[in-house]
Copies of this chain bind each other. A is one copy, B any other.
Amino acid sequence: MTLVAPSPLSLNWLNLAQQAEARIRPYVPPTPLLKSSALSERFERDVFLKLESRNPTGAYKVRPAFNAILAQLDTARSRGVLTTSSGNFAQAVAYAAKKLGVRACIVMTSDTSPYKIERTRELGAEIVFCGPDFDSRFETVKRLERERGALVLHGFDSIETIAGDGTIALELLNQLDTTLPFSVIVPVSGGGMISGIAATLRQISTDHEVLGAQPSQGGSMAKSIHAGQRVHVGKIHTIADALVASTPGERTFEITRNWAPQVSLVSEKQIHEALLHCLETEKIWAEPGGAVSIAALLSESLPLSKNKPVVCIISGGNADPRILHEILGK
């Protein structure tokens, strides 16, 4: 994990995303973009859902995982890869590593749900547990990196992961079948996806707008942008258990505060309502973190430009069945 040099604002992200797309395409088909009749009617403009939930392993994280491993495939094959993740990146790295013949070791906190542990283990990765706080994950990764010499993959802040996320923007440009500008609402945790999409679209046209949505339980990116610097918000407790980065990345913070600074905070209740909207009206299965884009749209808390079509990114669909059982019980 290197520090920020050169500035992430000076890179050619469109080119990086196009390279990433060429690398990952054999393993990651484009995800569907569906028009939502109900949301289009309500908001009087075309509203689309980008179903990243339908990726292999059920979340967008296969994009950065494949891109990061493929960018250094020889090294990854000889040394293995190492990362830490609360769930979706773990499964994505395990899956990509298996497909590419690479050993994978994943550091997980001791309080990770058995559902996520099992899903990762099934994909053949080694799991090493660490203490329950977000920061102890990185310490354990550093220790294992020293001991084993494995290639460390950052879940959201490396050039390869951000560029991997940028492939979503390339698909949108292709699928929206329009040269007119559009708005994209992106679930935010560490900031990888919003950075990748904003940085890529910006090189096409600054008229496209990219906005973020983050649980108010946490909200590390929104609070960092407000503070003008990266802040740590401590251990996060939210139903959106994929969005628990306690601080943004260095690169992702720079990109997001410059190119996608509108990050809306949504309450747990709004996330519940968004999830029910997905299930009852859209007939799709989203994870709570994947539905925060819908939550932000429904809450009308985002300063969307008038009349632009809107895309809500549904970042994943790996809801723990027990959580959904609880929600449906209410």
Q: Does A321 contact B (CB under 8 A)?
A: yes
A226, chain B: closest CB distance, angstroms? 34
| Complex contact B328–A58 (CB within 8 A) | no
Residues 156-200 of A at the B interface (beta carbon under 8 Å) = none
| Complex contact B283–A283 (CB within 8 A) | no
A122, chain B: closest CB distance, angstroms? 12
Q: Contacts of A285 on B, CB cut-off 8 Å? A: 278-279, 282-285
Closest to A316 in B: B283
Residues 101-119 of A at the B interface (beta carbon under 8 Å) = none
A253, chain B: closest CB distance, angstroms? 30
Q: Does A324 contact B (CB under 8 A)?
A: yes
Q: Does A317 contact B (CB under 8 A)?
A: yes
Q: Contacts of A278 on B, CB cut-off 8 Å? A: 285
| Complex contact B324–A54 (CB within 8 A) | no
Q: Contacts of A282 on B, CB cut-off 8 Å? A: 54, 285
A123, chain B: closest CB distance, angstroms? 14
A interface, over-half SS: helix
Distance between Cα atoms of A56 and B279 in the complex (Å): 14
Q: Which of A32-40, A66-74, A138-146 contacts B (4 or more CB under 8 A)?
A: A32-40
Q: Contacts of A54 on B, CB cut-off 8 Å? A: 34, 282-283
Residues 233-284 of A at the B interface (beta carbon under 8 Å) = 278-280, 282-284
Number of interface residues of A (CB under 8 A): 25
| Complex contact B321–A283 (CB within 8 A) | no
Q: Does A131 contact B (CB under 8 A)?
A: no
A209, chain B: closest CB distance, angstroms? 26
With A29-B35, A29-B37, A32-B32 known to touch, is A283 a contact of B286 (CB < 8 Å)? yes
A193, chain B: closest CB distance, angstroms? 17
Q: Does A85 contact B (CB under 8 A)?
A: no
With A54-B34, A321-B328, A328-B321 known to touch, is A283 a contact of B280 (CB < 8 Å)? no
Q: Does A329 contact B (CB under 8 A)?
A: yes
Q: Does A153 contact B (CB under 8 A)?
A: no
Q: Contacts of A321 on B, CB cut-off 8 Å? A: 279-280, 328
5 other A-B residue contacts (CB within 8 Å) besides A278-B285, A279-B285: A37-B56, A279-B321, A282-B285, A283-B285, A285-B285
Which 8 residue pairs are nearest across A and B when measured between Cβ atoms?
A: A283-B317, A325-B328, A53-B283, A283-B285, A321-B328, A279-B285, A285-B285, A32-B34
